[in-house]
Every structure is written in structure tokens, then in C-alpha cells.
Amino acid sequence: MTARYLLEQQVPATDVATPLPAPAPRLSPAKPAGPARPEVGAARPTRVLLVEDDDTLRTALRLLLTRHGYTVFEEGTGQSGLRSAYLRSPDLVLLDVILPGIDGYEVLRRLRAVSDVPVIFLTARSDSADVVIGLTSGADDYIVKPCHSIEIIARIERVLHRYRAAERQDEAVYDDGVLRLDSQRLQAWVAGAPLPLSVTEFRVLDRLVRHANVVQHFATLLKSGWDAPAAVGRDRVKFTVSRLRGKLDGTPVGGESVVSVRGIGYLYRSPTTPPLPPPGRTSPPVGYGHAHTLQGL
């Protein structure tokens, strides 16, 4: 689903295609000893994509980030870094500017067309003009190397904190017996099983779920997910909802619970919501799943 969307957005197939890894042996899942309830304190490790062509520096940065609890994906070229950013959905990208093939500026430009993942440039280019170019091209921060490891961690944590900060007027935990959302830890579960979501995916789902059966305009979802201006970024919402539906499919919630309202936005219909009576006149369904039921709202 992600690859199809990227291709529809004119992303070259070479940026998306990647060899499939060998399948891991399938193990029978162990039965839980007690009721399947989420661990309240167990937060998902933050995933950082590190794109750096210097092998020695990349290894040092990986060890530094791992030591501070981050899960690290490594790439050594702009092309492979872009592909990994598309398909791995990291929580943050630490990106060099001078890279083999396409440089960091071009990586960021292509990435910003379909994603709002936080990006920090980590580069030896220290000229003020380079810093301005980096920040105005969409980077969240710009670190000049060499620098102290403490500064790198502090900058990462600051960007992540700013990115995840959102005013919430609702209670921290939502639980309808099937879907559980923890707005403080940005964690979700379906029927007691963890549902892995990116920060943006969680924010959009959280907004939809806490305002179930009420249409959420694209501008509202942009504000909730990215704190972005209302006039831009509908494709960001569509792509995020597409990923959400893919993750909800196969769960008791189902991808069809997120309903398209063509030209306006989306709404959430819980699987526990009683079905609406059929409308008086028949019309072809629109959007995704049971969007035609909007006639009865």
C-alpha cells in the first residue's frame, strides 16, 4: 500500500523498490499466561534512520544512539536512505548533506513530498548559507560536525519533544473495550495486542476516534497530526490514513472504520456502532468501505 501510494505520487520506482529479506522462520506464538492487557510502562523504542557515508562515523553514531535507547537503521547513500525512509517509517532521520549519488538536500526534498518525519542535518558544512538552506528546505534542525555526542542527543530529544507535543483536552487513555489509545505514551492496542503506529498515525487516529461519527476536516487532521497550515498538505493526511487502514485491516477494528468523506475529510465509525438503516434511495458507495452510510448522519 505504501509503495503504491508513492508511485502514484510520481516517486520513481527505483526509490521504492528494494530486495525482500529472507523470510524468518515462523514460530508458534506462546499463549499469554493471563489476560492480554498492554504493559502501561512499556513504550516502543524510538526509531532513528541514520544516513551517513562515513563508515567509522556511522558506526560511532549507531553505538551512541543505541546506548541511549534508540532503534537505529543505517544507510550509506542518499538513494538507500531515501528508500529506507519511505518504507521503514522512522520516527526521526539523522541526515548527512554530502552523500554519494543524491545529496542530503535532494533526499529531504523528495521525502518532504510525502512525509513530515522530523529530519536533522548532521554535516560538516558550517557556512551560514548552508545552514539557512538546510533549515528553509524543511529540516527541523542543523548540526555542524564535529560536535559533542551530548549535543546530538539533546538536539534529537528536543526535536522529538517538539514534534510529539500536542495540546489534548481529552483524557489520556481511551478504551472502548476493543481499541485502547494512550495519548501520553502515544501507544495503541487492539483487543489487547499492540498496534504499532508512527507518531503522526497515532495523532490522526486519536483525533478521529475521540470524535467518532463526526466528520474531521482535512484542516483539522493536519492541525492534529502535523500542526500544519490548513491550506496545504491534504496528501499528507491521505497517505497517513492509507497507512492507518493498512495497519487496522486484519484487526477487530478493521480499516473500513476510517471512512472517507469525499472532498471534506474522514470520520471514524467504531465496529461496535450499530449499523444505520439503509437510506431511502440507493447511491453508489464513495470513499473507503462504508462511507455511503454518511447519508444517514
Per-residue model confidence as pLDDT tens digits over 79-114: 999 999 888 889 999 999 999 989 999 998 888 877
Average pLDDT score, the chain: 78
Least confident of 168-172, 192-196, 265-269, 285-289: 285-289
Could you tell me how many residues make up the chain?
Answer: 297
Q: Are 101 and 77 in contact (CB under 8 A)?
A: yes
CB-CB contact of 207 with 258 (8 Å): no
**How far apart (Å, rounded) are the C-alpha atoms in residues 222 and 203?**
10
- CA distances 54 to 59, 98, 122, 123, Å, are 9, 10, 12, 11
Of 150 and 212, the one with more pLDDT: 150
Q: What is the pLDDT of residue 284?
A: 40
pLDDT band per the 50, 70, 90 thresholds, residue 42: very low
pLDDT(43) > 60: no
Give residue 275's Cα distance to chain centre: 31
How do strand 187-190 and strand 193-194 relate by DSSP bridges?
antiparallel
Output the pLDDT for position 69. Answer: 93
CA distances from 49 to 22, 30, 62, 64 (A): 22, 31, 10, 13
Kindly report, residue by residue over 3-24, the tens digit of the pLDDT.
665 665 556 666 666 554 444 5
Residue 285 pLDDT greater than 50, yes or no: no
State the pLDDT at residue 262.
82
Average pLDDT over residues 240-250: 92
H or E element at residue 151? helix 149-164
What is the pLDDT at residue 5? 55
Q: What are the beta bridge partners of residue 93?
A: 49, 119
Q: Per-residue pLDDT for 169 more than 90?
A: no
User: Is omega for the bond preceding 274 within 30 degrees of 0, making it cis?
Assistant: no
Is pLDDT at 44 greater than 90 in this prediction? no
CB 198 within 8 A of CB 225: no
Give me the residues paired with residue 258 across strands: 268
For residue 252, what pLDDT is reported?
92
For position 286, what pLDDT does the model report? 38
The rounded radius of gyration (Å) of the Cα atoms in the chain is 21
Answer yes or no: pTM beyond 0.75: no
Of 171, 284, 166, 152, residue with least CA distance to 226:
166
With contact defined as beta carbons under 8 Å apart, do 53 and 76 qualify?
yes
Q: Are strands 265-268 and 258-261 parallel, antiparallel or unpaired?
A: antiparallel
